[in-house]
Structure 1
Amino acid sequence: MNRVFKFAMPFLQASLVKQILVGLVLGIALGMAAPSVAVSMGFLGTIFVTALKGVAPILVFVLVMSSIANQRIGDGDLHIKPILVLYMVGTFGAAVIAVIASFLWPTEITLVAPPESASAPAGIFEVFENLILNVVDNPVHAISSGNYIGILAWSIAMGIVLRHGTPATREVLSDAAKGVEFIVRLVIRFAPIGIFGLVSSTLATTGLEAMAGYVKLLAVLLGTMAVVAFVVNPFLVWLMIRRNPYPYTLMTIRESGVAAFFTRSSAANIPVNLEICRRLNLPESTYAVSIPVGATVNMAGAAITITVLTLSAAYSLGVAIDIPTAIFLSFIASVCAAGASGVPGGSLMLIPLACGLFGIDQNTAMQVVAVGFIIGVLQDSCETALNSSSDALFTIAACKRAERLRQPMS
């Protein structure tokens, strides 16, 4: 085992950000210069994203279970609670900002034919019903299908039970977690190759002109996400650490956000966020739980998407929108966003639920979903970048707050 680590260390310790930038530049160049060749390079991106999605469920299950099982009584409580508060406040705040942006710059969309195979929840009770069913899902099925709510539920339950197990059992769990983490770090190191394939094939198949018809809608969506990422989130972090939040903000966007932009999956980006927290020497008992939880429930970008597209549909149909309904929409969007799956396009299928607030029928709402898929090349990538980078950012903020509170008053 030591030989494996010795051989892999130079590869693992090289600057991943620089390698990703090289892959990004080469992917753009190939996509513009030789589209026919670039399309075939998409296979590299598919392999990378599939590998991440393959290891992520196992990582979450083993890591969370091991962390809780080996956690001393009282450890992590000081950190986890503020992180959960940040997740909830950040998601609701993002929905409110999206309402304000939609009121200032109302957008109308040309509704297209709805996708026949799509299905969406018919009401808020169905969302909660699906949530409960996911929690009690068979653990093997949850891991194989990527049901992260079920994975978290089982890993937390097993971790709590195994806290009372023998020291040998807890040590085995710890070793298993380290082994899975090492495999994940190897997979992440192939990110430059995967991103090269993703960028080149996407640029070759869609082109920049594909977004021309939805420039205003995209501007509202991406502008709102930028405000949340560079204003709202840093303000929340400042409230926690009481010093300049932008070094952490920019770092998480650069390292976590860029990776999530191309994978378009919060779940697949869990290993990247874990590596950031590990490098900053944050308490593993905290980030081993907060990062997987964040990938499941911290969905500010999804809340923005649901809110903006729902209000765009209302404007397009001439539906009157009052302030109380808009505020209630922010709450509903936050709840819906927390139930969105951590996979590409997960938030779009919850738009019909929010559209129901304005009496918009399911068929018309599904046409809005179709529009979401059309602009998804940029919208979903930016949404995931915001979601995933804030998972790491809020975890860092809570841990730094705990350090500040432990320091003696001068």
Structure 2
Amino acid sequence: MGQQEKVATSLTGAVGEEISASLMSVDAELARRYPGDPGTRQPVHTVYVPADGFTSTTLRTWGDQALASLDEHAPDAAALASVLGIPQELAEPVHDRVRAKLRREPVEDLRIDFEDGYGPRPDSEEDEAAARAARLVAEAYGDGTAAPYMGIRMKCMEAAVRDRGIRTTDIFLTGLMRAGGLPEGLVLTLPKVTYPEQVTAFVRLLEAFEESHGLPSGRLGFEIQIETSQSILAADGTAAVARMIDAARGRATGLHYGTFDYSACVGVSPAYQASDHPAADHAKAVMQVAAAGTGVRVCDGSTNVLPVGPAQQVHDAWRLHYGLTRRALARAYYQGWDMHPGHLPTRYAAVYAFYREGLGQAASRLAAYVAKAGGDVMDEPATAKALSGYLLRGIDCGALDTAEVAGLTGLTRADLDAFASPRRGGLTVTAP
């Protein structure tokens, strides 16, 4: 041991107290605006079904149709790997897990659509459809057949359809309350948001509903759908989407990119409207930066190329969807839209390949970080958080098993949760 250093300071404690007092409002604002990721499961996709087409068997039907497509066009692991370019060592586990997922939980997030997919209807017809949707959702949660997340996309807050959207939302939520209460997996999607004031109006609607039923303030959250250029860049040059998140007053859970409405809004011709168009990349990058740290998650759009018809046409559509999904995952868009049951095999194949191919490296880096063992990469706390989040997402969707992650890292699920989200509480880890 060397000589003990003498410690000397020049400032009085009053200086630190003065600085802390001057930053109290900033500290409070940081905590309010940027609470971090909520630490809850994020679905890998959202499936939209028109309200008049939704039945008690929709989820199982989608799974069965997806399995039938897989059996017909990629009946084994080698065939699926050949079509999609999956590495040989991943072919069997990806194929097996995709099949198991389609049997067990084919849809992670379902939205019953009362907007574009449903269109204008007589009021009596939409009233009945909204009441029916509430009954079917309540029954699904009651008998265990529900997707982890379910809800509706109502019509937007624009003048022409505002009253209809408000009424449908009221009927649906009231129906759920009468059937036993709001399910934990309930999600609402507000489309075609152009001005933050429209978000404020929807917040007022939800507040009024909570007050009328004695629900806790903030019980109802919602997603904001980004489908217009004005929601990205306002007339004054500011990022309107950031103001929308603030206008939601903590209720916003997601920002969903609307591929085709947004593309049309900025003048992209139909043949080039896609989620990898430069206009789409720009919009989603702004959304991503605006949402960072707020706890609001960004969701990619969809492809309208359906895997139907002869085998070559199905394979081409699968390759397109698989590539777009992998591209989105690499850019940290962990959720997207799926438009057809035939998209489910490639959604899960892309997601599972993404997490399984990175499992070894992510696990070893996190284990080395916990053990302070170094390794060939020097990681920081922020990276450890990202590594834990990566592994948790893989576990949640079925790409990875808790036991195999624990075997590679020496960490429990609770340990990973603590690393990934400070909102989970204090960090306690067991070194491997």
Alignment TM-score, normalising by the size of structure 2: 0.27
Return the structure number with greater relative CO, CA threshold 8 A, min gap 6: 1
Larger radius of gyration: 2
Higher helix share: 1
Alignment TM-score, normalising by the size of structure 1: 0.28
